[in-house]
Structure 1
Amino acid sequence: MSLETGLYFIQAKSTHYNVGRYYVEDRSLLPKRVLSLSQAVGGLPSEWLVEKTGDRTYRMKAQDTYTGVIDDKLYAFLLPEPAPVDWVIKAHPEHGDNVYSIETESGEGWTVEGQSESQIEIHAFQDSPNQLFTLVQSKA
């Protein structure tokens, strides 16, 4: 099942932490880290814009900024460079409703470490629980 363009909430399946940018960031134009955040540290759900760009590819915005990879870590870019990544979002119905992996076209997937406030990393996809995410469309 493919996703349609729209606003979504993203939560790590393994930890149930929300995925997004930290609620307090520096004011520079440097890329901003994308983290897994528990509600205890202000990890309230943030909406992501998921834009369909092809048959199986998407661009994703966290707080109105496109996302991409620097040194195997997920960032949101405030400037046009580096270029955003076209993500492949694959359904995994065997793991539950609305469960997906988010991968590069070369097969490297978003990966969550166990603790809150850890940055989303990009590793070869292995269908492990820490590489699965629940995407639920926002009602807004």
Structure 2
Amino acid sequence: MKRIYVIFMLLLCSLLILGLSVSAQETDKPKVISFHGESENWLGAFTAEFTGERITEIGYIKYKGEDVNSVGLVEVTYETNSGGLSSISYLAGLDSIDSPIGEKGTSTTKGAVGNNNQYSKTKFIKVTVEWGEKTESFNLYKK
């Protein structure tokens, strides 16, 4: 009888430990903060994904005009509390060049910074887009 009791207690402890480890994994889902906005020619979004000791930043813009092929090279800068994130590239899906993969007329910029929780206090992110001889700046606001 003592043997069955010992086996039962070991099984119960094992299930308890297994349950706690699964519960801990479920609470480790990354926290995401999103910002959105637009200007006359561009739609923009920015997300900050918190995972452990690091934040992954992803900036996204989309050209609102009809003739995406006329845009050419695009320089995008996202001004954040931790500095900035920027890129220079062609928009995705252009017909005449070897453009990046993605939805036609879009550009995605990625970066990573240390986790200092700056985005919980950030009200907006300033985006500046330069293409051809044109420049537009607009703000992305927290959703």
Instruction: Give TM-score, length-normalised by structure 2.
Output: 0.28
Instruction: Give TM-score, length-normalised by structure 1.
Output: 0.29
Higher RCO (CA < 8 A, seq sep 6+): 1
The structure with more helix, counted as a fraction of residues: 2
Q: Which has the larger radius of gyration?
A: 2
